[in-house]
Each structure stands twice: as C-alpha cells, then as structure tokens.
C-alpha cells in the first residue's frame, strides 16, 4: 500500500495507467537502448520436466551501454513451441522468481531512477509457463523481443524429478439428490473455457472444501495439496413464467503477477445467471445469460426480442451441443464473459484459446482432474449451493471458519427480504481480506450506484433483477412472483413428490444404503419414502421449505434387515415411526416434530443394511 501511494504522488495519472506500456513511456522521457540480444533460461534451472508438468521460461533482453552489455527492462513479444506436439506456453507474466541480474537504468532521468526503485518488479512481462506434452522428447521453445530471437531446448522425460506436490484429498462420486430442478441444471450446465496462467491449479473451478475442511483462511496455502477435481455450484429458482439457474465458479485463489491494491486474494467466486422462459417444452428457452466479472454484469441474449435495460446487450449466447451456453473465464481474477463477448479470448468453433493456455470443461456428472494446463473436455460435477453453502451462511448457525462480513439483506423495490444476517463473504486473510463473495453477497456496480439493486439482490432475486437489467418482450408474460426461492424462504409448490429427476446412484438394495434428508421444519411433518421417491405431509404448522432428499439407491422391497434414523441437526425430535413392510408398500415413514416457533434446519440420515 505504501508503494502504491508513493507512486500515485510521483507518477502522472496518465502514465500510471500505462504501466504495461513502459517502453513507449521511456521513449518519451529519455533515450531508450536498442535490444541487441535475448537469452532464455528456465526456472528451475534444470530444464528436464515430466510429461504434463510445468516449468517457467524467462526471457531476458540485453543492450549496450557503450561497449558494456547491460540488462534491459523489456516485455517479451512472442514465445512459441517450435516443435509440433511439443507442449504449450501460457500468456506472458512478470517473472515471479529470484532475479540475480540488475537492470540498466535507461535514460538516466530522475523519473526513471524513482520508477526503477519503486516498481521495477511490476513493469514487464518477461516469462511464460511451459507445459510439457505427454510424449517424452526434446522440444525447442523460441522467443522474440523487439525483433531479436533466441531459443532453449527443454527435455521431457518420464524419470525427471516431479515438481508437483501430491494431492492429499480425493472426493468420491457425488450422490445425486432428489432436487426436481437438477435435470434442468444438468441440461443447461455451461461449457467452460477456463484460461490458465502461471498458477494453473488456481484456475480450476473447485469446491470450497477442496482441501478437506471448511476453513476459508487456509485455502491459499492448501492449493497445492488440495483436490484438483472440477466442480461447479448451482442454485435454482422459479416463478410462474420462468426458471432461473445460478452457476458459481469457486477458485481457492485470485492471483496476479502484480498483487497490489487487493488484486490478489484468498478464495474467489464469480458466476452466471440464466433466465429461462417456460414455453411449454421440457426445458424451456434460454432467453438471457448474465455473467459477473469483477462486480460488473455482462448480458448475452438468446431471444432477439430482448432489448437494453439498465445494462446494454454484450452479445449473443453461443451454445455447445445445443443446450450448454459457452462462457470464457479469465485466469487469475476469474471474471466471466460469454464466448461471443469482446473480452473473450476463446474461439468455440476451433476450440482454441487465442493468446494463452486453458482448460475446457463440460458437465459429465463426474468431477475429473485436468491432466495439464491445456487439457480439453474435462468433466465437472454439480453441487447444490443450498446444501453446500446456504445452510451454513446464517449468522450463528455454523461454527466453522467459512464465512465472514455478515450483513442484513435489504432489497430495493419492496421485494422479499430476510429476517437474519448472512455471511456476505468467504473468510479469507491472505493478500486481502474477505474479497470473495457467495452469490448472495454479489453486487453489480452500475445498478448499485443507481439504487436499482441492493447488495445481493442481483442473484437472490433474479426475477426482479433480470427485468431491470434488460427489457423483455412486452408481448410475453413475465412474472416476478416466486413459486420457489428457498433463499428467500418461498416455496409455493403444491405438496407432492420428492422425486429424483437426475440419475440415481447404483442401487444399494438390501445390502445396505442410506437416504440423506435436509429440510426447514416449523411444526410437525411426516416424510414418506419408497423406492427412489416420496412425499411430505404437514401434520401441523408451516409448509416444509428448503428440502433435499439424497438417495444412495432405491429403498429395498423387503421387510428384513436393520433400519436406523440419525438426527444430525435440528432442535426437535425425529423418529422412524414405520419401517418398510409389505402391508405399507415398503414405505419408510419419518416424523419430525419442531416444538419451537420459527423454522429450524434438520439434517437426517436413514440407513438400512443386513
């Protein structure tokens, strides 16, 4: 911070905004030396690397001060792998390792001397990350700086020393929930073009507990040993006319080669919101995709009738395999854009990142690990945000170091609010504090300044926000009254089935299995379970809300075996009042009694076995 303030005083604003154009600036302030040669070196110095692993290639530029050879401060113009199939290089970055050569002070101006001492480490991008191919061999990497070329040979060997730390966490196949919106979320799960940079593992979308715990302020340090399995979090809401799907992309680090003024921080979470019109078909029509990039919303349309609102249209939605909207996610800071937006650096038609390495991810229902920093069609799984995050977000309800910056949601427009405080940020301490936010902590700079949407309202109330951000066709119905929004405590769906619409896990049958149940209860209710479905019945009190039921497999049609019910959370009583038997159609009946006023969250586990 002191360095930043010092520079702000001494450097004119117009020049401060041009840090990455230092050569042009120096040309105006003093004579700039010509580049006479360049040299490449690897970090580590041993240029042998294992297949699919990485090493840094630094490009150093030199010139002349009279007859003396001097090191010049220059960004690399171009770096390529000359051999076909010889690996990949990232976009350039400022070298992050130890540099043992001093730079020549060009121009000898007072400005240059001050600038050199104060911000030298931020001014040039002189390195790339090389990712080795699978096939062993010797491969040439060539660089160009202002017309001068040089190359270095890198040897890919299976017996080279590994520089990767072993991952200590692996997650099993995720059990499928009985969420009736899961099939919709699967259908529209986005195609993700994730750019990678000099810390590619930090660019893989992951789960918050990727390191095996729910502590937010150890995620930066746990990056290397935590799981690199790919996950995307989702949420679903519904009105009479539309469905709304929210997808969140969590990363353990927001990083940069210039970590100043909060540009780097522990944890990162950006996302998209899809507005889907109910047109009578099974999955409706995707009308609008809004993406978040650094507190700014970008709008992409799938309906030609949509017009500008508070926001302008930034492009059309591009689809992968007909139903999956394609998005580009920046490396480092992880801002999200549609692939047809001006900020996208990915071409879907060719499947290529234009200036960098990157990983493409598609929904497979399985959380795969990318093999390397330029992998393709890596599978990810979906995690329900309500279960994973929301049930932990209410102040005083969760005793782990997951959330911080608790606030009271206060929407504009006389819209539904919340009676309790929620964690507005993921707890983070490295580099900058509490910069990453779950979707209910997001804000859009433009609508916040105009007092159109309050903090959190863009995603907590997407029916309201979408029709202000954009202008929807006047001839088509658009409701802002929710049938279902569990984050605002709204569930007007008729009492009915708890039916799994996504693929179930293989049947555990009479050999054993379990059903995990989460619900907010206010009064006395009964849950009837049979096969792979069930229903809720309210005996007294309020309707059940926020319910999810996860089956490891269908309940067995047998009256033998052991049955047990465990209460994992909830202040009242939960009891298995009927075990499956022939006379009740092999139905398990669970009764939950919550005697106090107001709803409480219950977590139950029904298990069976021999």
pLDDT in tens, 229-254: 999 999 999 999 999 999 999 999 99
Q: Is the domain of 459 the same as that of 517?
A: no
Higher pLDDT among residues 256 and 11, named by residue: 256
Domain boundary at 442, 461, 486, which? 486
Q: Is the domain of 299 the same as that of 434?
A: yes
Q: Is the domain of 138 the same as that of 217?
A: no
Quote helix, strand, coil % in the chain, to nearest 5. 15, 40, 45
User: In the prediction, which pLDDT does 512 show?
Assistant: 81
Residue 176 inside a domain? The answer is no
Q: Is the domain of 104 the same as that of 214?
A: no
Q: How far apart are CA 253 and CA 204, in angstroms?
A: 10
Is 335 within 8 Å of 375 (Cβ atoms)? no
- The pTM of this model reads 0.78
Q: How far apart are CA 49 and CA 361, in angstroms?
A: 26
**Residue 207 half-sphere exposure, CB side, CA atoms within 13 Å?**
27
Q: Is the domain of 420 the same as that of 516?
A: no
Kindly report, residue by residue over 312-353, the tens digit of the pLDDT: 999 999 999 999 999 999 999 999 999 999 999 999 999 999
Taking CA atoms, 220 is separated from 93, 216, 251, 487, in Å, by 20, 9, 10, 29
First to last CA, the chain: 64
Phi, psi at residue 463, to the nearest 5°? -65, -40
Residue 586 falls in which region: left (phi positive, over 0), alpha (psi -120 to 50) or beta:
left
pLDDT over 70 (residue 29): no
Residue 385 inside a domain? The answer is yes
Domain boundary at 135, 156, 177, which? 156
Q: How far apart are CA 115 and CA 363, in angstroms?
A: 48
pLDDT band at residue 108, thresholds of 50, 70 and 90? low
Closest to 550 (Cα-Cα) out of 607, 600, 590, 511: 607
Buried b (16+ CB within 10 A) or exposed e, 526-541: bbbbbbbbbebeeeeb
Q: Is the domain of 305 the same as that of 384?
A: yes
Least confident of 112-126, 310-324, 501-515: 501-515
Residue 526 inside a domain? The answer is yes
Q: Is the domain of 143 the same as that of 226?
A: no
Q: Is the domain of 275 the same as that of 394?
A: yes
Q: Is the domain of 482 the same as that of 583?
A: no
Residue 173 inside a domain? The answer is no
Mean pLDDT of 563-583: 91
pLDDT band at residue 116, thresholds of 50, 70 and 90? very low
Domain boundary at 454, 486, 518, which? 486
Q: How far apart are CA 76 and CA 125, in angstroms?
A: 6
Domain region containing 561? 498-609
Q: Is the domain of 10 the same as that of 149?
A: yes
pLDDT over 50 (residue 13): no
Residue 519 inside a domain? The answer is yes
Q: What single-letter DSSP state applies at residue 284?
A: -
Q: Is the domain of 16 the same as that of 124?
A: yes
CATH number for 40: 2.60.40.10
Is 112 within 8 Å of 105 (Cβ atoms)? yes
Count: domains in the chain: 3
Residue 170 inside a domain? The answer is no
Residue 200 inside a domain? The answer is yes
Q: Is the domain of 551 the same as that of 603?
A: yes
Residue 35 inside a domain? The answer is yes
Q: How far apart are CA 277 and CA 512, in angstroms?
A: 41
Is 370 within 8 Å of 192 (Cβ atoms)? no
**Angle 110-119/2-10 helices, nearest 10 degrees?**
160
Average pLDDT along the chain? 89
Q: How far apart are CA 249 and CA 223, in angstroms?
A: 16
């Amino acid at each position: 911070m002191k360095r930043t303030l010092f520079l702000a005083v001494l450097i004119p604003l117009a020049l401060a905004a041009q840090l990455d154009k230092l050569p042009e600036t120096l040309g105006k302030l003093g004579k700039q030396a010509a580049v006479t040669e360049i040299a490449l070196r690897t970090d580590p110095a041993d240029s042998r690397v294992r297949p699919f692993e990485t090493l840094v290639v630094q490009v150093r530029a030199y010139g002349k001060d009279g007859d003396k050879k001097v090191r010049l401060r220059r960004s690399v113009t171009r770096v390529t792998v000359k051999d076909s199939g010889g690996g990949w290089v990232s976009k350039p970055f400022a070298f992050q390792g130890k540099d043992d050569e001093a730079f020549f002070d060009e121009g000898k101006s007072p400005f240059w001397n001050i600038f050199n001492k104060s911000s030298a480490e931020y001014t040039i991008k002189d390195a790339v990350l090389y990712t080795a191919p699978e096939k062993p061999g010797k491969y040439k990497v060539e660089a160009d700086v202002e017309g001068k070329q040089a190359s270095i040979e890198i040897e890919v060997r299976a017996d080279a020393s590994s520089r990767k730390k072993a991952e200590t966490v692996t997650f099993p196949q995720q059990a499928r929930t009985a969420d009736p919106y899961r099939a919709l979320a699967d259908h529209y799960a986005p195609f993700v073009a994730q750019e990678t940079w000099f810390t590619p593992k930090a660019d893989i979308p992951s789960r918050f507990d990727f390191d095996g715990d729910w502590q937010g302020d150890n995620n930066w340090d746990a990056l290397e040993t935590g799981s690199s399995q790919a996950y995307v979090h989702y949420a679903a809401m519904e009105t009479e006319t539309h469905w709304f799907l929210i997808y969140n992309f969590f990363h353990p680090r927001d990083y940069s080669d210039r970590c100043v003024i909060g540009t780097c921080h522990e944890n990162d979470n950006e996302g998209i919101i899809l507005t889907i019109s109910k047109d009578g078909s099974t999955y409706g029509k995707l009308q609008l995709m809004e993406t978040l990039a650094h507190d700014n919303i970008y709008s992409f349309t799938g309906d030609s009738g949509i017009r500008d609102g508070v926001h302008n249209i930034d492009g059309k939605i591009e689809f992968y395999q007909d139903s999956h909207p394609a998005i580009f996610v920046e490396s480092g800071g992880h801002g999200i854009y549609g692939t047809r937006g001006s900020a996208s650096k990915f071409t879907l038609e060719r499947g290529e990142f234009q200036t960098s390495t990157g990983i493409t991810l598609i929904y497979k229902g399985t959380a795969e690990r990318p093999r390397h920093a330029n992998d393709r069609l890596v599978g990810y799984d979906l995690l329900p945000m309500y279960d994973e995050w929301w049930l932990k977000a209410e102040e005083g309800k969760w005793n782990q170091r997951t959330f911080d910056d608790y606030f009271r949601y206060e929407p504009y427009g006389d819209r539904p609010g919340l009676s309790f405080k929620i964690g507005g940020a993921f707890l983070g301490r490295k580099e900058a504090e509490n910069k990453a936010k779950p979707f209910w902590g997001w804000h859009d700079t433009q609508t916040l300044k105009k007092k159109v949407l309050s903090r959190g309202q863009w995603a907590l109330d997407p029916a309201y926000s979408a029709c202000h951000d954009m202008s929807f066709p006047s001839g088509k119905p658009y409701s802002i009254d929710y049938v279902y929004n569990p984050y605002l405590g709204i569930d007007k769906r008729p009492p009915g089935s708890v039916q799994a619409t996504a693929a179930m896990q293989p049947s555990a049958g009479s050999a054993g299995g379990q059903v995990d149940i989460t619900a907010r209860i206010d009064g006395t209710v009964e849950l009837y379970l049979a096969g792979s479905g069930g229903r809720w019945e309210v005996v007294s009190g309020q309707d059940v809300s926020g319910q999810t039921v996860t089956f490891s497999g269908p309940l067995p049609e047998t009256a033998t075996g052991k049955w047990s019910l465990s209460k994992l959370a909830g202040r009242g009583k939960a009891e298995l009042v009927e075990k499956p038997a022939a006379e009740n159609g092999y139905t398990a009946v669970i009764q939950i009694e919550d005697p106090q006023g107001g709803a409480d969250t219950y977590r139950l586990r029904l298990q069976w076995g021999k």
